[in-house]
Structure 1
Amino acid sequence: MLLPQVLPALVVGVAASLMFLGISFLSEEFQVVLWDDLPDALGIGRYSSLWMITMLTATGIAVGLVVWKAPGHSGPDPASEGLGGAPLAPGLVPSLLLASALGLAGGVSLGPENPIIAANIALAYWLGRKAQPSLPGAAWVALASAATIGALFGTPVAAALVLSEALSSQPGRGSLWDRIFAPLVAAGAGALTTQLLAEPSFDIGLPPLSDPGWGDLLAALVIAPAAAVFGLAACYLFPYVHTAFRRLRHPMLMLPLGGLVLGLLGALGGHLTLFKGLEETKELAASVGGWSSGELAKLAVVKLLALLVAASCGFRGGRIFPAVFIGAAFGLLAQALVPEVHPAVAVSSAVLGVLLATTRQGWISLFIGAALAASPSMLALLCVASLPAWLIVTGRPQLELDHEGKALH
């Protein structure tokens, strides 16, 4: 029963990774044109306030045109779409990917994960049912979702954790490992393809924690819940900001205005608060001890507001990568206020708390927090620190709305 699923899983895994790498490559090349070549040719500072405001507003106009005029209108309102979900019609995929790539290149504070997963699910579901009708539609959805998560994070472990969390509440026959066998093959193929072609890394260069003590445990228990409270602020504001933008009723009003606001926030917070956030997190962590507490507080608040605005006004993208930057800035702020706290403990715990608040994905939050520290000894601290943080976020509003614009809990 399991062996016939191996070939489809391998094919979906490699294809999902190539889709992710292709969109990432195109958006990064276009980003160089927009943020390096073009301002240099015009004699304008690359990250001057004027250029950031102009570029983000122009990105809002471009994405607004895609959402307004392109076939499929880039899919449903992203505020009501989580990580994965029901398959979209394949005709929506080109406009969804175009809107996502424009936002990534233009500096919008959203990541690639939601649109890429949605696109891969749509294509795998559509093509898979034609190629192998004996495999149920839900299986193609699971393969595409797992493959893309494996490709995004460069390891199938993240996909296994997310799948186990999702499947634990679903009835089904067979053991859990039988049910995730084919998705894990797809995730492994996607992760290996990404590793071979792009060599991704979540190591942001923090000094390793070799021998955690009671002080490290206390710091993690304080920072993770505090960061969760900070992240929840965006979740509580989300319905109101989304409603304010929806009152404009047209993508050519919502998105350009959202781009203008993001440009103003970028001018306030600096270039590190632009884009999806992973490379900016590495740049932030490269200067541990070199940032003042005021600078770090500004970075965390501005990035949180940028994520809130970008997710509310209709830009297509995911929340995970910006949330990682927010958590890193919050953790470094805690370390700047209390220098005795180890940087790896501060950053990993804060990222864990912000991700728990903004995604409600417990396993993926633990995985990313541990991966950033690149220190196995952090895992035990994070497991304990996740417990009070989860008590704070569970049952609270999520950074996702239902189709009526009301907060999900």
Structure 2
Amino acid sequence: MAEDTAQQAPTAPGTPARALLPAILPALLVGVLASLLLLAVEEAAGQLEDVLWQDLPDALDVGRYSVLWMLVVLTTTGVLVGLVVWKVPGHAGPDPATLGLDARVLPLGVLPGLLLATALMLAGGPSLGPENPIIAVNVGLAVWLGRKVAPRAPGAVWVVLAEAATIGALFGTPVAAALLISEALTERHTEGPLWDNVFAPLVAASAGSMTITLVAHPTFDLDLPVLGTPGWGDLLAAPVVASAGALLALCAVRAFPYVHGAFARLRHPMLALPLGGVVLGLLGALGGHLTLFKGLDEVAELAADPDGWSAGQFATMTVVKLAAMLVAASCGFRGGRIFPAVFVGSALGLTAHALVPGVHPSVGVAAGVLGVLLAITRQGWLSLFVAAVLVASASVIALLCIASLPAWLLVTGRPQMQLRADGTSVR
């Protein structure tokens, strides 16, 4: 009976190779251009960051990360981004609290202001990453160019290619893009074989990641102590830390609409963003300079010496970074929440290691990142991938799969850190 049922089950027809081949060249071009735009924005932001946090304080004989200078720079960043949102055509795009990795198509005139606001944010130190706005800009450009060169092609094709290319460039590998696209296709119940559907996006993601790799040589490996064969203690630690990370991040998710609503009641970007800058400066003074910026370089500094801080210091950085991400995402700074969430999870994992030395730092960091990302993004595959790639250890993957189960039970069905236009949380 089972054999008869299996034989009667419909099989999705495959796409002929001749139908897939024409997509290769456009996907390659989108991948290269998307990665080059990301590189250009990060390079410009890096140059400005050096001026703001090295050249100017040195010239003024002020401590680079003194309380005074953090307040000055972050408040000034809020003023500058506020001016862009207020005066530049397009107002730097929609409210960033309503955006996720699945970008909407923005008009071409909005994109310059969004790029400028993003570069200023990255240089000034707010706790957000470049992912959401860069994806939005690349999607807008890809759709505009696609309509020029291939007006008959569906606009959704260019959206998927640009998203995949940017994700591949952001994470330095096409695997992250493939996992995200596969998850999205499953949710949309897309017809046809999976690999036919991901073929062109995977080409774009591969082109984006290889361009970044060849030009900038990024790495996510934190070079933590190598995890050997997992033991019973690791099997216990991973789900406990992941669940703790999920619960901690859910606190921020729960507070998100209320904090966002408080800033929205100010009704003007020149009030909300400078005030947000002041709050971020005070949080930076509390948590130290490692809690500033998107967090990847700062995570690497923590991981370079996992025993260099006390449990209290790690815990303080964890809570401060989470609060800084919450404030920055609520007051109107243009940026994404994945990269600062990685810092939060890493600091939480190192807190666990400092409290209980038997918790291996690689297990603590990977599990902490997994739990925090699951709560913030509700992207299971992305959370597993990022957590695993940080420690570059094959033996941690099984632990993370096990740890994801209780963490997912905690987050599923609950709000995520993204809002609808009316200010309510997306579920």
Do both proteins adopt the same fold according to a TM-score greater than 0.5, normalized to the shorter chain?
yes
TM-score normalised by L of structure 1: 0.99
Alignment counterpart, residue 243 of structure 2, candidates 225, 228, 245: 225
State the AA in 2 paired with 1:75. Answer: G
Aligned to 1:165: 183
Give per-residue Cα distances to partners, 1:185-230, cap 9 Å, x unaligned: 0000000000000000001121111211221111101110111000
- SS of residue matched to 1:317: coil
Query: Distance between the aligned counterparts of 2:204 and 2:107, measured in 1?
Result: 22
Give the C-alpha shift of residue 171 in structure 1: 3.6
Alignment counterpart, residue 128 of structure 1, candidates 142, 146, 149: 146
Give the C-alpha shift of residue 84 in structure 1: 2.4
Q: Does 1:293 align with 2:311?
A: yes
Q: CA RMSD in A?
A: 0.7
Q: Does 1:393 align with 2:418?
A: no
TM-score normalised by L of structure 2: 0.95
1:19-30 equivalences in 2 (<5 Å): 19-30=37-48
Alignment counterpart, residue 107 of structure 1, candidates 122, 125, 128: 125
Query: Distance between the aligned counterparts of 1:322 and 1:123, measured in 2?
Result: 26
Query: Distance between the aligned counterparts of 2:110 and 2:104, measured in 1?
Result: 13
Higher Cα radius of gyration: 2
Query: Distance between the aligned counterparts of 2:153 and 2:196, measured in 1?
Result: 15
State the AA in 2 paired with 1:130. Answer: K
Q: Which runs of 5+ in 2 are unaligned?
A: 1-18
Give aligned-pair identity as a percent: 66
Q: Which runs of 5+ in 1 are unaligned?
A: none
Aligned to 1:196: 214
- SS of residue matched to 2:308: coil
Aligned to 2:5: none
Alignment counterpart, residue 337 of structure 2, candidates 309, 314, 319: 319
1:262-273 equivalences in 2 (<5 Å): 262-273=280-291
Query: Distance between the aligned counterparts of 2:364 and 2:190, measured in 1?
Result: 40
1:64-75 equivalences in 2 (<5 Å): 64-75=82-93
Give per-residue Cα distances to partners, 1:18-45, cap 9 Å, x unaligned: 0110001000110000000010011100
Query: Distance between the aligned counterparts of 2:305 and 2:360, measured in 1?
Result: 14
Aligned to 2:296: 278
Give per-residue Cα distances to partners, 1:276-311, cap 9 Å, x unaligned: 000000001111112111101110010000000000
Query: Distance between the aligned counterparts of 2:182 and 2:328, measured in 1?
Result: 30
State the AA in 2 paired with 1:272. Answer: L
Give per-residue Cα distances to partners, 1:315-369, cap 9 Å, x unaligned: 0000011000000110000111110111100000000000001111111100010
Give the C-alpha shift of residue 86 in structure 1: 2.0
Give per-residue Cα distances to partners, 1:226-266, cap 9 Å, x unaligned: 11000111000001000000000000000000000000100
Q: Does 1:356 align with 2:374?
A: yes
- SS of residue matched to 1:159: helix
Query: Distance between the aligned counterparts of 1:326 and 1:203, measured in 2?
Result: 16
Aligned to 2:324: 306
Contact between 1:219 and 1:345, CA under 8 Å: does it hold in 2? yes
Give the C-alpha shift of residue 172 in structure 1: 3.3
Query: Distance between the aligned counterparts of 1:83 and 1:172, measured in 2?
Result: 19
- SS of residue matched to 1:2: helix
Contact between 1:84 and 1:121, CA under 8 Å: does it hold in 2? no
Give the C-alpha shift of residue 79 in structure 1: 0.7
Q: State the 4+ residue runs in structure 1 displaced beyond 6 angstroms.
A: none
Query: Distance between the aligned counterparts of 1:335 and 1:354, measured in 2?
Result: 17
State the AA in 1 paired with 2:277. Answer: G
Aligned to 2:114: 96
Contact between 2:103 and 2:132, CA under 8 Å: does it hold in 1? no
Q: Does 1:209 align with 2:227?
A: yes
- How many corresponding residue pairs? 409
